Structure 1
Amino acid sequence: MLSSNKLEESVFQFLAGTFHQDIESPEDALEELLTEESKEFLESAIVFLTDFIGSEYSDIEKNEYIQSCADGVYFPSLDLEPLQWLYQVIEQIKEAVKKNINR
């Protein structure tokens, strides 16, 4: 199991690296991630993102952290809390891995 600091760092790198201010849209950024990253990376992302969702932080803290990392995502327009959105991202990654869309 990852330590809290390592977990936070992994989540930050994933969100900030994928969903930064310069993206066209969160959907495009996710599609790019799913097609360009290795299956191993995506499987690893599923684990650390799921660990983050299940961590001891409050939902408020998780929402604030996700929002601060994924600054290219405007959550009010999605009509989702950041935590709900992240759960959907994980599900989409799982589907991509299952379908073996990536290399």
Structure 2
Amino acid sequence: MLDEKMWLLREEFEVLGNFLGGYFHQDMEPLEEVWAEILENANRESTTILLNDIDRFLNSNLSHIEKEEFIEGNCDLYFPAINTTPLEWLIQMQIEFKKLLPSLKD
């Protein structure tokens, strides 16, 4: 993906990009610990905002390849090591957040 297009997508999906880069960076802990940190910091409002951005991203007119490049370009996960693709991983994160949402405090 061209740098200019990636830059525009980072603006359009700022919440998602910040989430990916904020938690899934090169110095991150094992994924279980990252998820624990996410849960510790989660509240209903921020999770709803993130879910809205994930939904917009997944439902956008971007190609499958563009979506995967955006995810990979905003986080430092090595997807073959976790036996999934970037898009499958994000969809699983979306499912987990939707399950979590009812139990979160305002």
TM-score by length of 1: 0.83
Paired position in structure 1 for 2:19: 14
Q: Which whole-Å deviations, capped at 9, do the CAs of 1:29-82 have from their partners, x for residues lacking one?
A: 1221122122210111111011101111101010011011111x1100111110
Which structure 2 segments of 5+ residues have no match? Answer: 1-8
Q: Is the 8 A contact 2:16 2:54 kept in 1?
A: yes
How many correspondences in the alignment? 99
TM-score by length of 2: 0.81
Measured on the aligned residues, the alpha-carbon RMSD in Å equals 1.9
Whether the 8 Å contact between 1:34 and 1:93 is mirrored in structure 2 is no
Check 1:95–1:69 CA distance in 2 against 1; reply closer, same or farther (3 A cut).
same
Q: Is the Cα–Cα contact under 8 Å of residues 10 and 17 in structure 2 kept in the other structure?
A: no
Structure 1 segment 1-103 matched on structure 2, within 5 A = 6-71=11-76, 73-100=77-104
Same amino acid, percent of matched pairs: 32
> Which amino acid letter does the alignment assign opposite residue 98 of structure 1?
P
